[in-house]
Every structure is written in C-alpha cells, then in structure tokens.
Chains A and B, each alone.
Chain A
Amino acid sequence: MDKVIDIILEFVEPEEAITPQSSLKNDCGLSSFDSVCLLDRLCEEFDKDVDEKKLRSCHTVADLAALFID
C-alpha cells in the first residue's frame, strides 16, 4: 500500500495525507487522464496488465491497490 501511495504522489500533490480510504478523484485530485497514467505506472511497477476500463470501479486508493496487491 505504501508503494501505491508513493506512486500516486508522482502524479498529484494533495493537501491532506493519502490513506487507503482516500477518494481518488475528490481527495487525491486525480483527473481521468492522471488515473490512466497512474494505472500504466502501477502496471509497470507491479509487472501486471490491468484494463483501463477497470478504473471506473475504483473509487478509493484501496480499490486501486486491490488490482495489484493480493
């Protein structure tokens, strides 16, 4: 989870600390474009392929991390 949060911080500078419950859009401030770039970066980091359409069901940092962390 820490690694996912560190990678999110390559894309945005939110005012509040990011937690697993943080909303990707409203709390982290990720735009749709940011999210697609972030997903690509996570795929590279975790060496995993994830379809970008799965982003639509990711609302929180924990939702996103669950795509990569068993």
Chain B
Amino acid sequence: MSTKTLPNGKTVETYPLTQAQRFMLFVGKQFGKDAPVFNIGSGYYWKDDFRADLLKEALEEAIERCDVMKLRFTLENVNGNMQVMQYLNDEAEVKVEEYDFSDMSYDESYEIMKGWTKQLIPMFDCPLNTVRVIRLNDGLNGMYLKFQHLAFDGYAAKAFIADTMAIYLNKKCGTPYPKPLRSYYDAMMDEFAYLDSDQRKADRAYWMQHFSTESEPIFNDYLREGNRLKKARETNPGQRFVSLYEGDHPESRTLMYEVSKEDSDLIMDLCKKNDLSIPCVLMLGLRTALSAFNDNQEDVSFKFMINRRGSLLAKKSYGNRWHFYTLRTIIPASLTFKQAIEEVEDVQSTVFKHCNFDTLEMYQVKHMAMKAGTIANTGTNTYDSMTFSYHAPLEVPCESEEIRATTRGIWYNNDYSAQNLYLTVKHRANDNGFEFIFEYRTCENSLEDLKVLYPKMMDAIMLGVKDPDMTIGEILEKIKL
C-alpha cells in the first residue's frame, strides 16, 4: 500500500493490482494492442408496465451499494517503474442517463449500443463504467451496462444486474430489498494475504512438481483443413505445440448458437439426478469434438476460465476474480460418458484446489519445470488451442414468470479479442437454455471450420446425455468427420 495525492488535492491509499487484474492487463496489452478488449457491454431488457423513474433510482442505489463503482486505476512510480495501481474514490461519480430508442428498429438500436461498447474506456483516475436506462421498440425496456474488465468480470456484471432488479422490484412491487453486498476492499486484502501465505508456497510447489513430472501435452486444433500442428510437423516431425497469435491482429467476430430448451433441460436433468457438474459435461463435449478433429486423440488440453468465487465475500464483492488454467484430460475410448465426466470433474477439482496461484506465475513455473525441447520460453507457444468459459445461472429477480419469458440478456461484442478462440456458454435470461458464443479472431480462423466445431460438440454431448453408458469410443465413431 502507498499513498498518492490526486489532482483535486485529496490523498488516497493506493494498492497494486490483484493477480487476476494483472493477468487481464497483461493479456490485453500483449495481445489486444490498443483495441477495446477490456470493454464488457451488456443489456438486460424485459416487457412490463415499465417505470423508467424507478429503474433509474434502482440503478443509482445499486451503484451506491457497489464499492467497485468507486474503483479507480492510476499510474504510479514504484521504485523507478511506472505501475498501474488502484484506489477507492469517495464517490462513484457514475451518472445514470436515459435513452429512448423506441422509434427505431431493434437492429438499429443494437448497432448504436454496440458502437458505445467499442469506445475505449479511459483508464486512469476517472469513472470506468457506464450505466444507462434504455427504452427499445416493441415494449422492451431495461438497462445498458458497459464495464471495464479489470473492475468487473462477467459474473460481477450479472450480479450487478440481479442486485439492480431486486431493488427495482422492491420499489415497484414491495418485494424484499436485497441483502447488503460485501466489501471490495476486504476481498482485495484477502487476495494480497494469499501472496504471503503458506498456501501459495504449497500451490507453487504443487505446480512445479506437476509440470516437471507430467508427460508432454499435445496441441489439438479446432481447425481441420489448416491444422496447425500438422503444418508445424512438416518441418519438425516430433513437435507437440504450436505458436498462436502470430501477427497480433485482435479483430474478432462471434458465432452464436442456441440450444433448444428441451435439449438444455435434458443436460441439466442428467446433472441434477446424478450430482454431476454442468460445465464438466460441456467440457467433455468440447474435448470429444477436439479429439475427433485430431485422429481421436485421447490427450486433450484447452484453457478454461475459473470464476474463483467460493466464499460469500468473494461472491458479493464484485471485481475481477477470473483465473485461466489448462484443463488437460487423458480419456481412453473405453470409458463411458458418465465415467468420463467424473474424470473431467476430478481433474477440474485438482486444478481448483491450486488455482489461487497467479496465472502468469503458473506459466513461469511451467516454463521452468518442463523439460528442454518442450514449449519454448515465449508467450505464444502453446498446447491449448482455445479457451472455454461457463457462466453458471445466477438468478435475476423477476416480477412474474410471464415477464421472465419476455426477458432478453444481450452481450454487445466489441469486435476485438485478446484470445484466439474463446467459447462462452451461458444461460438464456428467459428460459435458462444454453447459448454458445464463439468469439474468434478473424485473422487466424476459418469460419467454415468453426462452423463444424459446435455441431460435433453438441452431438457428442447429446449422445452421452441420452445414453450415459455409451463409451467415448462409440461417441467418436458416431461423430467422426
């Protein structure tokens, strides 16, 4: 901790970035150039006897309750190096504005809000987030939110929406006011306490041991025609990794798929009845598709996002807590779908146990621990072709089930991504069914190839969900290309 005097003469206590924030900043600066990769734009709309005045009041109260709205970043000279630091301002200084798009088409208003999302957010010594009341056509109304990713991750963004809706319904219908939130400062101090803990030493020792003893992983491409490992092996036959991000062009687009309510319920029912993890079923589907794309490879790795929110303090203090780790599973064809889910769960649990360790430091440990001739010590060589992220349902209060059926949760893509291919699976606001959103960099990805990945992944999932005793080998045979 240090202190800094702001231009207005006030002195504040400043703190370093947390590990999750440092990782986000590194990836954004390294692979995102000056594109708006830190912007998260979202909308939440519904049809009711809309009270814009009450929603505005609710948003103002939600902002006031939320420490992270007061969060600021600043540049500070620390031992001769300019570093990004953070502090909590006395006030949020976020003004809730109202916009009426009811006289234009949905697509026109979508493009306007997408344009807002693409505008770079000034980073230092100013408010980071934008909150607006929106009227759309066809009776849809609600809110537009633009968050800075070092301050809010996707979970925090949805938690803010849920808090706002609880306050709105309290004002409109007299439903209970939401419980108090937790302190961002306390959560940040918890993160810093970990850095000096025995647990961190134990986690570091675990990863060092893990990487120095495991066999070398292998890159499984999601591209079939332009398989990058096969191309690399033309000059180096034994190679098992590839270099991604060549060219550093962050421009991206999204491919979105909706899973029917019926199929979504089948997946969730299987998990509920058997105490299985939904993201593990989805990740098994993804790894099976990647396996099919790579000659039924048994050894599959990809990155996955870990929403490190166990305690109520971590869940209710917002901020950015996401870490990214590799999920590597070696699953023989003889395992049944259900056994394979359990294997994915076991691997996931082991990663979870040690995932408070800094993602950036984990990569340093990996480079130190792995044998010579495996991945080189650069930021672009990898065994992970893509990243997976699952957003668990977080209940957003609603006045009635009829109104819930009209609700739409929108993600406004900013058209830039620091990641090569990023699959986000989330639940629809109106019926809880799954949405698969593939955010892909346009410079490296063939749309034709990408369009094959989702159907293969869903085929693998649905075959297994309908017959959990089917073996992975049988599923691979049925989805073969």
Q: Which A residues fall within an 8 A CB radius of B? A: 10-13, 23-26, 31-38, 40, 52-53, 55-56, 59
The SS class assigned to the B binding surface is: helix
Q: Nearest chain B CB to A62's CB is how many angstroms away?
A: 14
Query: Contact mask B343-387 → A, CB, 8 Å, 1/0?
Result: 001101110110000000000000000000000000000000000
B301 close to chain A: CB less than 8 A: no
CA distance A36 to B345 in the complex (A): 11
Q: Are B311 and A32 within 8 A (Cβ)?
A: no
CA distance A10 to B348 in the complex (A): 22
Contact-residue size bin, chain B (C-beta under 8 Å from the other chain): 20 to 34
Q: Which residues of B sit under 8 angstroms from A34, Cβ to Cβ?
A: 310
Stretch at the interface among B10-18, B30-38, B274-282: B274-282
Q: Which residues of A sit under 8 angstroms from B342, Cβ to Cβ?
A: 56
Identify which of residues 91-117 in chain B touch chain A, using a CB-to-CB cut-off of 8 Å.
none
Q: Which residues of A sit under 8 angstroms from B353, Cβ to Cβ?
A: 36, 40, 52
Q: Which residues of B sit under 8 angstroms from A36, Cβ to Cβ?
A: 310, 349, 352-353
Q: Are B349 and A55 within 8 A (Cβ)?
A: yes
Q: Which B residues fall within an 8 A CB radius of A? A: 179, 272, 275, 277, 279-280, 306-312, 342, 345-346, 348-350, 352-353, 392
Closest 3 CB pairs of A and B: A37-B310, A36-B352, A52-B349
Q: Are A32 and B309 within 8 A (Cβ)?
A: no
Q: Nearest chain A CB to B179's CB is how many angstroms away?
A: 8
A25 contact from B275, B348, B350, Cβ within 8 A: B275
A31 contact from B311, B312, B350, B392, Cβ within 8 A: B392
Q: Which residues of A sit under 8 angstroms from B272, Cβ to Cβ?
A: 25-26
Q: Nearest chain B CB to A30's CB is how many angstroms away?
A: 9
CA distance A66 to B311 in the complex (A): 22
Q: Nearest chain A CB to B163's CB is how many angstroms away?
A: 14
CA distance A55 to B309 in the complex (A): 18
Q: Which residues of A sit under 8 angstroms from B277, Cβ to Cβ?
A: 31-32
**20 A-B pairs with C-beta separation under 8 A:** A13-B312, A24-B275, A25-B275, A31-B392, A32-B279, A33-B307, A33-B310, A36-B349, A36-B352, A37-B311, A37-B352, A38-B310, A52-B349, A52-B350, A52-B353, A53-B346, A53-B350, A56-B342, A56-B349, A59-B275
Q: Which residues of B sit under 8 angstroms from A56, Cβ to Cβ?
A: 342, 345-346, 349
Given contacts A52-B349, A53-B346, 19 further A-B contacts (CB under 8 A): A10-B311, A10-B312, A11-B310, A12-B312, A13-B179, A13-B312, A25-B272, A26-B275, A32-B280, A32-B345, A32-B352, A33-B352, A34-B310, A37-B311, A52-B350, A52-B353, A56-B342, A56-B345, A59-B275
Q: Are B348 and A32 within 8 A (Cβ)?
A: yes
Q: Are B349 and A53 within 8 A (Cβ)?
A: yes
Q: Nearest chain A CB to B267's CB is how many angstroms away?
A: 15
Q: Nearest chain A CB to B89's CB is how many angstroms away?
A: 29
